[in-house]
Structure formats: C-alpha cells, structure tokens
Amino acid sequence: MPEGHTLHRLANDVWDAFGGRKVRASSPQGRFAEGAGLLDGHLLRQTEAHGKHFLAELEGGGWLHIHLGLIGKMDIHAAEAGLVPEPVGQVRLRLQNRTAYADLRGATVCEVITDEERDKLIGRLGPDPLRDDADPELAWKRIHRSRLPIGQLLMNQDVLSGVGNVYRAEVLFRAKLNPMTPGNVLKKREWQGMWDDLLELMKYGVETGRIDTVADDHTPEAMGRDPRQDDHGGEVYVYRRQGQRCHVCQSVIRTKLLAGRNLFWCPKCQRTGLTRKS
C-alpha cells in the first residue's frame, strides 16, 4: 500500500499540473461519472495530503477525496501539442487541461465530499509527520496510554497518519526498539526520536519517491553487496528481508503477523523495550 510520502508527492504533482486553473473531469470507466460531473470545469484551488488521503479542493465543486488502497495509482502526463490520448484500461477518473492529463486507476476511495466531511475525515486521523501543523504530542498521548505493541500502534492511522509497513519496520529498527514493546512502556524521548526520524525519512521519500533507510556504512557500495532487488525499491534494514542477515549484526531477520500485517525485525538489534516494567 502506498505510504504517506506517496500521497504528498501526488498532491504536489497534481498542483503542478492543474493548480490555479480550471480542470476538466470525466470518468471513462463510468463508475465515477456523477462525481466527475460535480468537478468538471471548476478551478483547482488547492491540493493536500493527510496521511494516506489525497484531497483537492475545486472552487464550487467540493473536495475530491482519494485513498489509493493497495493497488491504486494516479499517473500524470504532459499533453503534447495539447492532445490527450484515449484512456487505456479501467480509468476511474481523468483530470485534464491543455497541458496535462491524469488518470486514476484502482483506488479504494474516489469521492466528492463537502467541507464538513473533509474536516471530519481529518479530525479522526493522527498527526502526519509531513504536515507543518502536525503535533507529535497527540500521537504520544494515544501511544502512552495503550498496552498494544508499538509495532501495531504505528500502523494505526488514528494514532499516527501516513506510516505504513515499510516505515513502521524501519523506524523501529533504527530506534533499536522491539516491535512488541507495549506503548505504555515506551519512553517519551524514544517516541520523540522516532518522530524526528520519520520526519527525515518521509521528507526524503517525498523528494525522491523512494524509501531508503540505511546509513552510509550499510549501503551496497560501502558493504560490497548487491543492491536490494524488490518491487518496492529502496535500501532497507529489515522490511521484507526475512531469512536474510542483518546488515548490522548478521543475525537472521525475522517476521510474524501482527494485526493482520507482516512484521519484520532483527532479534538482536531490537531487544530494547520489550523486557521493561511498565
């Protein structure tokens, strides 16, 4: 599933292509015909991301709300010589103007919502490290009063918004925290360290479109190893590296299911936290 940095990149890209101008909206697939009709011909006033949610305000047309889910994707292309090709495949929503077009496919959510519905959506989400208005204290309060494992809490979008399985696994490794450490055992300085680390890692993700989490000493070049071969890309410590050796201590990376999602960790590097008394 796309993580928060992907939605922030999308918000930036949609604004660059259509911001401040009127946009044509259609639903070639037909499933979003009514919603596209509400957006069609209106000026795009702003785009934003809150965690894994993309929002675009169209003047007089409401808010376009998109959640990409597991397979959703919006591709944006330049319209060469003002020409836009016919849609290919199941395009839920097409946005276009004289210079660009964007096709949305496979999204879990694609809808038009009101100001009140947008505010309600945002109100139930935890703070997003990529937003300037985010308050890490809100997430800390929810974590500190919970007995659930920190590895589960980090994936709860009501606690922390935008963090998915990759960032969850990697930030816990970098913090040397066992993912099964109960939230109410976590120290505040540890939480602040993870928040600061997420902010740095996710900003890098927005800039590059990749999730790279390894330090300079652990890159393929520094270690003389082959680059990671994975559809998700990026150099990581533990995510989807089960059965392989840890880049730091050479222990075997482990995996297990936690709340329906695969969890990855190093049993030696991530001992901290689990055995503490609350």
Domain of 204, CATH number, reads 1.10.8.50
Residue environment code for 240-255, b if the CB has 16+ CB neighbours within 10 A, otherwise e: bbeeeebbbeeeebbb
Cβ-count burial 166-205 (b if 16+ within 10 Å, e if not): bbbbbbbbbbbbbbbbbbebbeeebbebbbebbeebbebb
130: in domain:
no
Name the β-bridge partners of 113: 63
d(Cα 140, Cα 154) in Å, to the nearest integer? Answer: 11
In a domain, 271, yes or no: no
Q: Give the count of domains, the chain.
A: 2
* Residues 116 and 156 grouped into a single domain: no
Selected catalytic residue, list 24, 73, 176, 261: 261
Are 194 and 105 within one domain? no
Which residue shows structure tokens 């680059």? Answer: 227
One domain for residues 101 and 22: yes
Single-letter amino acid, residue 115? D
Per the structure block, which two tokens stand in for 130?
A: 């990529």
Residue 92 lies in a domain: yes
Residues 178 and 214 grouped into a single domain? yes
What is the reported pLDDT for 230? 78
Distance CA 17, CA 34 (A): 23
Q: Are 12 and 4 in contact (CB under 8 A)?
A: no
Q: 233 is in which domain, residue-wise?
A: 136-265
Where does a domain end: 95, 124, 153? 124
Contact 76, 64 (CB under 8 A): no
Which pLDDT belongs to residue 231?
A: 72
**Last residue of some domain: 88, 104, 124?**
124
Cβ(240)–Cβ(43) below 8 Å: no
Sheet holding 73-78: strands in order across? 73-78, 100-105, 93-96, 22-26, 42-50, 53-58, 62-67, 109-113
> Is 3 among the residues known to form the active site?
yes
pLDDT value for 278: 44
Q: Are residues 55 and 155 in the same domain?
A: no
**pLDDT for the residue 277:** 52
* CATH code, domain carrying 45: 3.20.190.10
Question: With contact defined as beta carbons under 8 Å apart, do 241 and 173 qualify?
Answer: no
Same domain, 152 and 116: no
Of 52, 105, 168, 174, the active-site residue reads 52
Indicate whether 276 belongs to any domain. no
Shared-domain flag, residues 89 and 184: no
> Based on the domain organization, do 141 and 34 belong to the same domain?
no
Query: Which helix (H) or strand (E) covers residue 46, if one does?
Result: strand 42-50
Residue 118 has a pLDDT of 97
- Is 52 considered catalytic here? yes
Residue 99 shares a structural domain with residue 201: no
Q: Both 119 and 140 in a single domain?
A: no
State whether 153 and 120 are in the same domain. Answer: no
Residues 30, 110 within the same domain: yes
Domain boundary among 124, 158, 186: 124
3-state secondary structure of 24: strand
Q: What's the predicted TM-score (pTM) here?
A: 0.93
Determine, yes or no, domain membership for 270.
no
Amino acid making up residue 46: Q
Q: Do the domain assignments include residue 131?
A: no
For the chain, which ranges sit under pLDDT 50? 278
CA dist 119 and 131 (Å) reads 15
Model confidence pLDDT, tens digit, residues 78-126? 998 889 999 999 999 999 999 999 999 999 999 999 999 999 999 999 9
Q: Residue 187 corresponds to which tokens in the numbers above?
A: 């120290």
21 lies in a domain?
yes
